[in-house]
Chains A and B, each alone.
Chain A
């Protein structure tokens, strides 16, 4: 059977169709591809070592040698921004994966079984959401210790409630559809029905949430580093780059803040837009 190849062909066709339909989604997809490419390969082709300092060329503006200029230790800002991509996207991806799996699972239990599951899990989500989320993340990192893994955990925890809410709402809608009863009649246990029949049908909305969350998570990780929690200098990370550059705005070295800031902003923008595109891909009804 070559059904697999047919399926892939369909997705390729669908992608072409989507790109033709909407300029914004094609831009976002291109940018998304660029970010992924940079994250995967960036460290191999950057012109300079991002950590190598050379004070003789400190604080030089953008030039043909140093596209984004150099910082106060003479490090190449362009190389640092490129290398930071992998770290920032990595943190976001890890955090969002954790919150997606944990949040969706908890929300699905709440939505499907209702009763005490729903009350407990619902209140849990409410408790987390009652805090200002960034302050909660700061608190978590501060208490658990200043490390990369804790930044990931903190970012994951503050995003879990969103997945709980979406998957609970989706599952409780899908639960009453007749195909669920048909699945039960075919000998699927409740848990199996939930996992293999209901959840895949909830994916379209969850995927949008994943993508939007990626944007938030990047901002959150950069924000934590900016205020000195989480990743520490001299590691190249967008938040740290902006934080280091912030001291020099007054003296006119704008490139230190501008370039990492723009790259960060574009990343958030891209992930927010890609969500809409992905939703159309994930929904079989829209695949004509």
Chain B
């Protein structure tokens, strides 16, 4: 065949069916794309779009109830959609490798990294006893791991997420795979780690000729690293284009919606959707003269006590101190949104928990509305009148809703505990108006959380938080678990509520681009220290601290986006 030389993989009009209780469901339909050596192709789509299933089908890794009734997958001239299990086993790992979203759980926790590599190399016969260690060292160096001895003798849980992902890539390279399928390889990693992993994948593609299928929900990453784009929606390919055409010629409304919803460096929150949100005619709430919340020298240390029972009795336990938050000071005015940005382990969650009075501070003051609330212990604060003024929206929309409570119970809970009235009619009306305010249909009142979508759950969480008319709301990564288009609507909702109710927010997130859209001021936190704070525009345009600069440069941006926005 004349195409054999060029195309490494070609997927033709593929369809995937799943047998379920309700009959056969077609998960993916009419998917076609080609991939060449050294190319990176992005399968982009939101959750449930069929992008992962498509990629899994290439290795025939579908669940037992899945089948491929139509279409073909040709790998290197060989139709692998009808290959036997024995043949597939040969191809998996040796020709095509896969890396997954959570590298920590993909590596066997009781085997050292070196053992993983040794097994892989020996099983596929690429090295003998004499040169295996050399081979491993070479691989680890290839994925930019330099303290070889430590990593080889480490168990997966002793390494960071980014390191584990590198080891996974090393495993893929160990057998000289020619195709790498990366399923959201950087979700859950810090932006700086994300950048280094993606840079590594890209350099392997360019230098070693590795073909890569990158499955991602993040158009930003795709735009930064990929040569070809396949956009999927509800199991169908809506757009398939090369890099050049993708940004200039993409026509499908879904692609446009995705492009719009992806946060960019300059974008504003009202630009995230095609229709302009209605809150624009509400004027900005007045920012008070006096700060609503003042934080002075806030500090949190965790103490780990070690020692025997005897030393406990004698009071001679060893104490190990871990500083989560170091002397941080800032203030928040009413009607203002302040962003708190930092990587994982930077202490931003601990800070927000202390401000929410779920945790006690080790030192420092929190002054709310003129009252030093850090003097009230977190146990006593539950019954304090200020409890209803400080509320929180949580990161995980699923985990933060009690799975046994209906939407009504969930929203009414704070009203019952801290509100003025237990009256059933009053509660019903109040919950109804709250649901309308956050854009939830009233029929959902009797639903349980697992019957709602991610965005709807996030709305329930917000409705619950504003039920008591708080003055100050802590938003702890409220959109990080949501798809971008849902994130866009939730961010607009938050902006609307701030303008309508004159709320103050502390918006905690790892994503600078999301934070900056809502915030007037930004705090950047690193290893428990606030390294930079200032007006949003100033921090975005002329960051002072090197960490802020590093954060800014790590976030993938769609450079072409500005042009598209102009065109629209």
Contact = CB atoms under 8 A, between A and B. Distances in A.
Given A6-B446, A187-B383, A188-B417, A179 B392 contact: no
B214 interface: no
B401 interface: yes
Contacts of B464: 182, 186
A67 B395 CA distance: 66
A56 interface: no
B413 A284 contact: no
A284 B396 contact: no
Interface string B402-444: 1110000000011001100000000000000000000000000
A284 B447 CA distance: 11
B446 A184 contact: no
B382 interface: yes
A178 B394 contact: yes
Given A186-B417, A187-B414, A284 B403 contact: yes
Contacts, number: 68
B413 A183 contact: yes
Interface string B516-539: 000000000000000000000000
B404 A186 contact: no
B52 to A, nearest CB: 22
Interface in A141-200: 177-179, 181-190, 197, 200
A3 interface: yes
Nearest to A182: B400
B429 to A, nearest CB: 13
Given A186-B417, A187-B387, A187-B388, A179 B356 contact: no
Interface in B372-394: 379, 382-383, 387-388, 391-392, 394
A64 interface: no
B400 A187 contact: no
Tell me whether chain A's interface is mostly helix, strand or loop, or mixed: helix
A178 B400 contact: yes
B424 to A, nearest CB: 8
Contacts of B141: none
B403 A285 contact: yes
Contacts of A3: 446
A179 B394 CA distance: 9
B358 interface: yes
Contacts of B446: 3, 6
A193 B413 CA distance: 11
B418 A186 contact: yes
A197 B493 CA distance: 28
Contact of B383 (A178, A189, A201): A189
Nearest to A180: B402
Contacts of B146: none
B418 A182 contact: no
B406 to A, nearest CB: 8
A187 B417 contact: yes
A283 B185 CA distance: 33
A232 B300 CA distance: 64
Contacts of B379: 190
B107 to A, nearest CB: 24
Contact of A183 (B396, B399, B402, B448): B402
A181 B404 contact: no
Chain A interface residue bracket vs B: 20 to 34
A184 B387 CA distance: 10
Contact of A185 (B383, B391, B396): B391
B450 interface: yes
B358 A200 contact: no
Given A6-B446, A177-B399, A285-B403, A186 B394 contact: no
Nearest to B378: A184
Contacts of A182: 392, 394, 400-402, 461, 464
Nearest to B388: A187
A178 B401 CA distance: 7
A187 B382 contact: yes
Interface in B342-396: 353, 356, 358, 379, 382-383, 387-388, 391-392, 394-396
Contacts of A181: 353, 358, 392, 394, 400
A71 B383 CA distance: 67
A287 B413 CA distance: 23
Most B CB contacts (10 A, CB to CB) among A178, A185, A187, A188 go to A185
Given A184-B358, A187-B388, A188-B382, A178 B414 contact: no
Contacts of A189: 382-383
Given A6-B446, A185-B356, A185-B358, A179 B417 contact: no
A234 to B, nearest CB: 48
B394 to A, nearest CB: 4
Nearest to A17: B21
A187 B418 contact: yes
Nearest to B465: A185
A179 B400 contact: yes
Most A CB contacts (10 A, CB to CB) among B382, B387, B395 go to B382
Given A179-B401, A181-B394, A185-B414, 16 more contacts: A178-B394, A178-B395, A178-B396, A182-B392, A182-B401, A182-B461, A183-B413, A185-B465, A187-B388, A187-B414, A187-B418, A188-B413, A190-B379, A201-B402, A201-B404, A284-B403
18 contacts: A3-B446, A177-B400, A178-B394, A178-B395, A178-B399, A181-B400, A183-B402, A183-B413, A184-B382, A185-B387, A185-B414, A186-B413, A187-B383, A190-B379, A190-B382, A200-B404, A284-B448, A285-B403
Interface of A: 3, 6, 177-179, 181-190, 197, 200-201, 284-285, 287
